[in-house]
């Protein structure tokens, strides 16, 4: 697994650590429905550790002993500490956005959930968060109208529109900071739209965000 460092789309390093990612489950109604899950009344939060971060390009690895599903998400890069934050503080603290994959070992997750066990093993394993380089926030436009797309082997698998989020980006980060202090370099993963499916070795992926395309291969 390649060593991960935050980078801008021009390749320049971002001089920030990556201690954790805070992720949200079922933030798109259609995704909840496709997995036969109830739509939550409040955001469902979970963490991925620094060892889950991996560069998306030129390729990324998946575990080979369980069905590994792709979950395309808009990723938000935090540049200043946030605790009990309001909208103004959040807008000042966010420095970049991009796309990433919340990789999920679906069979393992379901088995753990059925037993009432935590399911970090299915979500927070090494390399479970491949991230594309970040676009500076001022180049991303209206946060409520962001869109992302995942093509697998030339076929559209997922298309997300921030307007369809159950909890939009700013309210989501407000909610997160009631419970978790966000530190510089932390990443917020904002939920996946419908269309999740298993990845196969050799799959060619194209992730689209902010008029940019990030191509990669599953290895």
Which domains does the chain carry? Answer: 20-218 (3.90.850.10)
Phi, psi of 9 (to 5 degrees): -65, -20
| 8-56: pLDDT as tens digits | 999 999 999 999 999 999 999 887 677 677 888 899 999 999 999 999 9
pLDDT on residue 66: 87
pTM of the model: 0.95
Q: Cα separation of 95 and 90, whole Å?
A: 10
Collapsed DSSP state (helix, strand, coil) of residue 78: strand
Contact by Cβ (8 Å): 92, 79? no
Query: Comparing C-alpha atoms, which of 97, 116, 80 is closest to residue 210?
Result: 97
């Amino acid at each position: 697994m390649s060593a991960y460092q935050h980078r801008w789309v021009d390749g320049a390093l971002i001089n920030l650590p990556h201690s954790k990612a805070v992720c949200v489950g079922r933030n798109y109604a259609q995704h909840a429905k496709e997995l036969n899950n109830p739509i939550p009344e409040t955001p469902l939060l979970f963490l991925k550790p620094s060892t889950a971060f991996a560069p998306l390009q030129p390729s990324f690895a998946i575990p080979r002993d369980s069905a590994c599903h792709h979950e395309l998400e808009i990723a938000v890069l935090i540049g200043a500490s946030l605790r009990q934050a309001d909208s103004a503080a959040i807008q000042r603290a966010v420095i970049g956005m991009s796309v990433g994959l919340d990789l999920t070992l679906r069979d393992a997750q379901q088995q753990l959930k059925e037993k009432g066990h935590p399911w970090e093993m299915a979500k927070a394993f090494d390399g479970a968060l491949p991230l594309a380089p970040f676009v500076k926030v001022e180049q991303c436009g209206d946060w409520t109208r962001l869109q992302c797309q995942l093509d697998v082997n030339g076929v559209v698998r997922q298309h997300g529109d921030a307007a369809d989020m159950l909890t939009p980006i700013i309210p989501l980060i407000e909610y997160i900071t009631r419970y978790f202090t966000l530190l510089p370099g932390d990443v917020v993963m904002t939920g996946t739209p419908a269309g999740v499916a298993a990845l196969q070795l050799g799959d060619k992926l194209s992730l689209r965000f902010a008029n940019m395309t990030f191509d990669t291969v599953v290895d």
